[in-house]
Amino acid sequence: MTANGWLQIAVFCALVLVLVRPLGGYMARLFSGERVFLSPVLGPVERVLFRAAGISAKQEQGWIAYALSMLAFNLAGLLITYVVLRCQDMLPFNRQGLPGLPPDLAFNTAVSFTTNTNWQAYGGETTMSYFSQMVGLTVHNFTSAATGIVLAIAFIRAFSRATAKTLGSFWVDLTRCTLHLLLPMAIVLALVLVWQGVPQNLDPYVSATTVEGTRQTIAQGPVASQVAIKMLGTNGGGFFNANAAHPYENPTPLSNLLQMVAIFAIGAGLTNTFGRMVKDERQGWAILSAMGVMFLAGVAIAYGAEASGNPLITALGVDGGNMEGKEVRFGIANSALFATATTGASCGAVNAMHSSFTPLGGLVPLINMQLGEIIVGGVGAGLYGMLLFVVLAVFIAGQMVGRTPEYLGKKIESREVRLAFLALLVLPLAMLGFTAVAAILPEARASLANAGPHGFSEILYAYTSAGANNGSAFAGLNANTPFFNLTLGLTMLIGRFLMIVPMLGVAGALVAKKRLPPSAGSLPTHTPLFVGLLVGVILVVGGLEFMPALALGPVVEHFALAAGQTF
């Protein structure tokens, strides 16, 4: 580890923190229906859309209608993408004449982008036409992100409103989020990225004759527009197979910094939106602090492990930390930081190959995802996931102060506990359950590139990533087989929607409750003590169940590596 490495980490954190209040305030105003700076331009567009859709901007929905609308919208989007991918050979902008995708891969990919996972069982430049990239995939980068954000807003309203029936209108929230928040940010970021060197064209792949005279085909495409939103919306699906490690997707340290900030910007801002909407910004800061504590711990472990390198390679007379799978322009600090951020958030973009990380370096992304990606988290998903943990933490600890547990004046009772637990139960069930199945199926084992504990980690990572809707991979696993495409697709659906529906149920129960005035007897939820408690509950309730699996993967690999054992 170097001082300069930590300086970069500090600058990254500072940039994210600086954006928290402006973005948080903007979103609070936007979702409270106030006028924002683009209203004069986009207001008429909105009105046309609402009229065409037959909805009124004032008509709100209860939690069931909100959930059904969300499901209908996502199902429609999923089907369109499936069809686009299957038929891309008949659609325009297919410069390389790529064939339509087989059904299992099309299903997996359509699910993957709909669920904000962006798991990629394919290599972008060898599989997807430009039309598929734009219409099939970029669209979901917007809408799945918007879905996550508006769900978080609905959950926030459960606390900011009292004795109410509705959580807002999914349609209105979704449209405003896409038009006023994601689109302007994406346009600006895309242009900055082009300035740094990210291509944006519809050209055919370039054929070059290299200096030494060999032929090199260089993939092209509308890269910047997709990369910008894949980061802002924590989607993470690379335009190219190598994702943000690819020099075209992420050409400079500056583009790297901006992309990392983009991953955290909206998610971190939402904590402030939460604070503002419940009229106590400290609550938002407390949640962000809990995220921050876990984030910094993860960065420190990952950075330390990667910087100290692979002892087996060092023993061969090699000098330096672990650079396998990393890019020279980013170096070790930025790679460890990116890995921690992309898995803390539900992004899944990678600027270095996690599979080639040291065992402890690879353990951090795994744990981040297993905890449910609540370290800032996927846009929206991170906040509502975190708030579910808050509900549990308040319930467990709240009784310790001798009162029925309450959070922000809302009593946490059996219905909320049941639904919150249902939502949190989904993750270990999908992640561990499918890993167990794949671990013993011979056809699944045939997909492994690495033997020994690392091979197990590849499977565990795949289902963890899918269940958490992350999308990054220990990419040694060849996941483009019918078995993996199908089971990972299911895992993504479970991890997304089986969590969302009970979460909205919690919101529906909470929004109807009275708000109790705070007193000296109520549990303070903005103090460092509570932050510590929350982190403890997350680690113990959300993390302990993964210990056996982690022990058999990265943990044992760590001890094996220290003992000089190879597989």
Partner 1 sequence: MSIAHDDRGRAMPGAGFMARALGDSIRKLDPRTLIRNPVIFTVEIVSALVTVVFLRDLADGGDAGFSGQIAAWLWFTVLFANFAEAVAEGRGKAQAASLRRTRAETVARRLGDDGSVEQVPGTTLRAGDLVLVEAGDIIPSDGEVIEGIASVDESAITGESAPVIRESGGDRSAVTGGTRVISDRITVRITAAAGNTFLDRMIALVEGARRQKTPNEVALSILLAGLTLIFVIATATIEPFARHAGGSVPIVLLAALFITLIPTTIGGLLSAIGIAGMDRLIRFNVLATSGRAVEAAGDVDTLLLDKTGTITLGNRVATEFIAMPGIDLFDLASAAQLASLRDETPEGRSIVVLAKEKYGIRAHEMSELNARFVPFTAQTRMSGVDHGDVAIRKGAIDAIEALVDGTAIPRDWSVAVERIARTGGTPLGVVRNRRLLGVIHLKDVVKGGIRERFAELRAMGIRTVMITGDNALTAAAIAAEAGVDDFLAQATPENKLDLIRREQAQGRLVAMCGDGTNDAPALAQADVGVAMNTGTQAAREAGNMVDLDSDPTKLIEIVGIGKQMLMTRGSLTTFSIANDVAKYFAIIPAIFAATYPQLGALNVMGLATPASAVLSAIVFNALIIVALIPLALRGVRYRAVGAAGLLRRNLAIYGFGGVLLPFAGIKAIDLVVAALGLA
Partner 2 sequence: MLSILRPALVLVAALTAITGGLYPALVTGLAGAVFPDQAHGSLAMDAQGRIIGSRLIGQGFAGDGYFHARPSAAGAEGWDAAAASGSNLGPTSKVLLDRVRQGVAAARADADGPVPVDLVTASGSGLDPDISPAAAYFQADRVARARGLGPAEVHGLIAGHIRPRQFGFLGEARVNVLELNLALDKMAP
Determine contact, residues 335/327, Cβ cutoff 8 Å.
yes
- How would DSSP label each residue in 23-65? HHHHHHHHHTT---TTHHHHHHHHHHHHHHHT--TT--B-HHH
Long-range pairs for 296-299: beta carbons < 8 A, 24 or more residues apart: 296/13, 298/340, 298/344, 298/364, 298/367, 298/368, 298/375, 299/9, 299/336, 299/337, 299/340
Per-residue x/- marks for partner 1, 317-336, CB under 8 A? --------------------
Per-residue x/- marks for partner 2, 289-308, CB under 8 A? --------------------
Residue number, 166 or 525, with CB nearest to partner 2 = 166
Q: Name which of 86, 88, 139 is nearest 114 in CA terms.
A: 139
Q: Name which of 133, 146, 132, 5 is nearest 73 in CA terms.
A: 146
Which range, of 39-47, 319-327, 355-363, 421-429, touches partner 1 by CB under 8 A?
421-429
List the beta bridge partners of residue 207: 217
Residue number, 409 or 452, with CB nearest to partner 2 = 452
Residue number, 54 or 402, with CB nearest to partner 2 = 54
Minimal distance, residue 159 CB to partner 1, in Å: 14
By CB under 8 A, residue 541 contacts partner 1: yes
- Binding-site partner at residue 254 among partner 2, partner 1, none, CB < 5 to 8 Å by type: partner 2
Interface pick for partner 1 out of 115, 141, 435, 465 (rule CB under 8 A)? 435
- Binding-site partner at residue 69 among partner 1, partner 2, none, CB < 5 to 8 Å by type: partner 2
Minimal distance, residue 155 CB to partner 2, in Å: 20
Per-residue x/- marks for partner 2, 211-250, CB under 8 A? xx-x-xxxxx-x-xxx-xx----------xxx--xxxx--
Interface pick for partner 1 out of 181, 193, 412, 477 (rule CB under 8 A)? 412
Burial 173-188 (b: 16+ CB within 10 A, else e): bbbbbbbbbbbebbee
Which range, of 105-113, 121-129, 262-270, 522-530, touches partner 2 by CB under 8 A?
121-129
How many residues make contact with partner 2 (CB under 8 A)? 130
- Binding-site partner at residue 90 among partner 2, partner 1, none, CB < 5 to 8 Å by type: none
For 460, half-sphere exposure in the C-beta direction (CA atoms, 13 angstrom radius) is 26
User: Identity (one letter) of the amino acid at 119?
Assistant: W
- Binding-site partner at residue 530 among partner 2, partner 1, none, CB < 5 to 8 Å by type: partner 1
Specify the pairing of strand 206-209 against strand 406-407: unpaired
Minimal distance, residue 405 CB to partner 1, in Å: 8
3-state secondary structure at position 217: strand
Interface pick for partner 1 out of 52, 519, 564, 566 (rule CB under 8 A)? 519
By CB under 8 A, residue 456 contacts partner 1: yes
- How would DSSP label each residue in 147-162? HHHHHHHHHHHHHH-S
* Residue entry with tokens 């609070």: 28
Cβ-based neighbours of 229, under 8 Å, separated by 6 or more: 138, 141, 142, 145, 182, 186, 190, 235
By CB under 8 A, residue 14 contacts partner 2: no
Residue number, 221 or 359, with CB nearest to partner 1 = 359
Residue number, 41 or 451, with CB nearest to partner 2 = 451
Per-residue x/- marks for partner 2, 158-197, CB under 8 A? -------------x--xx--xx--xx--xx--xx--xxxx
Interface pick for partner 2 out of 20, 28, 257, 419 (rule CB under 8 A)? 257
Q: Dihedral sign, CA of 261, 263, 267, 273?
A: positive
List the beta bridge partners of residue 340: none
State the Cα angle at 145 between 140 and 283, rounded to 5°.
175
User: Identity (one letter) of the amino acid at 32?
Assistant: S
Q: How far apart are CA 289 and CA 302, in angstroms?
A: 20
Q: Contacts with partner 2 in 23-62 (CB under 8 A)?
A: 49, 52-55
- Binding-site partner at residue 206 among partner 2, partner 1, none, CB < 5 to 8 Å by type: partner 2
**Cα radius of gyration rounded to whole Å, the chain:** 23
CA 487 to chain centroid, in Å, comes to 20
List the beta bridge partners of residue 61: 168
Interface pick for partner 1 out of 414, 506, 554, 566 (rule CB under 8 A)? 414
Interface pick for partner 1 out of 418, 483, 497, 512 (rule CB under 8 A)? 418
How many residues make contact with partner 1 (CB under 8 A)? 69
Interface pick for partner 1 out of 158, 352, 523, 538 (rule CB under 8 A)? 523
Q: Contacts with partner 1 in 153-182 (CB under 8 A)?
A: 162
Q: Which residues bind partner 1 (CB under 8 A)?
A: 162, 392, 395-405, 409, 412-414, 416-418, 421-422, 424-425, 428-429, 432-433, 435-437, 439-440, 445, 453, 455-456, 459, 514-517, 519-524, 527, 529-530, 533, 536, 540-541, 544-549, 551-552, 555-556, 559-560, 563, 565
